[in-house]
Chains A and B, each alone.
Chain A
Amino acid sequence: MDVYEVTKAPGRLDMFLSPKLRYIDRAGEETERFLEESGAGVSAFGVLLIMREALTNAVLYGSRHEEDSRVRYSLSLGAGTLTMEVEDDGDGFDWKSRTAEVPDITADSGRGIAIMTLYSSGFQYNEKGNRLAVFWQCE
């Protein structure tokens, strides 16, 4: 059974999703609303771009692709920092081997880490590589 749950509180957005690409589009709509309503003072384009990178990776490569597989996505605003967290229930990946360098222009993949580096204030994975936290300093 597909799951799509959204929980909102002041300065916080939580989503709990089945790993479906169409839910990334809906997460984008929720993210846009959150940024407008919270007045976070960060580049909406950068946040939306990284949201798509993180959720697409979770949906396509991270999740177990089983009936009960789930992805968690959250945004929280506090102490001048916007924090995004994305977690899937898969086996993670070897994030230490990935480079932040922009790949060759003819490469048709491999830009995720470069995009996160260039469009956020910072990010970190857990050791396993199935949970990502991204930070933006608000203006």
Chain B
Amino acid sequence: MEQAIKKEKQTLIAPGRDIVASYAQELRRNLWSLIEEGVTDVTIDLAGVQMIDSIGLGVLIAAHNSLKKKQGRLAIINVSKEILGLLKTMRLDRHFDIKE
């Protein structure tokens, strides 16, 4: 299951499952709760994530947009080759802070 490790205004979220339509709303709620609590730097650990569909991409983009308004950022780590390819294809590698 999803894990979240909080440290002041930074949080690491490890979904541990694909970020797709059946899970996207839960992740969206969790991210919004964190942002409302004042978290400004969120790192999403994609270890074990094999797929992100366009609904999932939408959640990450919306979270990034909200964090950016607060001078924060969304970082992504442990990205698979296929998902990195998708992010590059959608030009989102310029948007997120990605660490492979």
The reply to whether the CB of B21 lies closer than 8 angstroms to some CB of chain A is yes
The reply to whether the CB of B22 lies closer than 8 angstroms to some CB of chain A is yes
Chain B: number of interface residues, binned into ranges: 20 to 34
Tell me which residues across on chain A come within 8 A of B18, comparing CB atoms: 25
Q: Is the CB of A24 within 8 A of B89?
A: no
Tell me which residues across on chain B come within 8 A of A56, comparing CB atoms: 20-21, 53-55
| CB of A31 to closest CB in B, whole Å | 11
- Residue interface mask B54-83, A partner, CB < 8 A = 1: 110111011001000000000000000010
The reply to whether the CB of A79 lies closer than 8 angstroms to some CB of chain B is no
The reply to whether the CB of B86 lies closer than 8 angstroms to some CB of chain A is yes
Please report the C-alpha to C-alpha distance between residue A5 and residue B86 in the assembled complex, in whole angstroms: 31
Q: Is the CB of A45 within 8 A of B65?
A: no
Most buried by A among B53, B59, B62: B53
Residues on B facing A (Cβ under 8 Å): 18, 20-22, 51, 53-55, 57-59, 61-62, 65, 82, 86, 89-92, 94-95
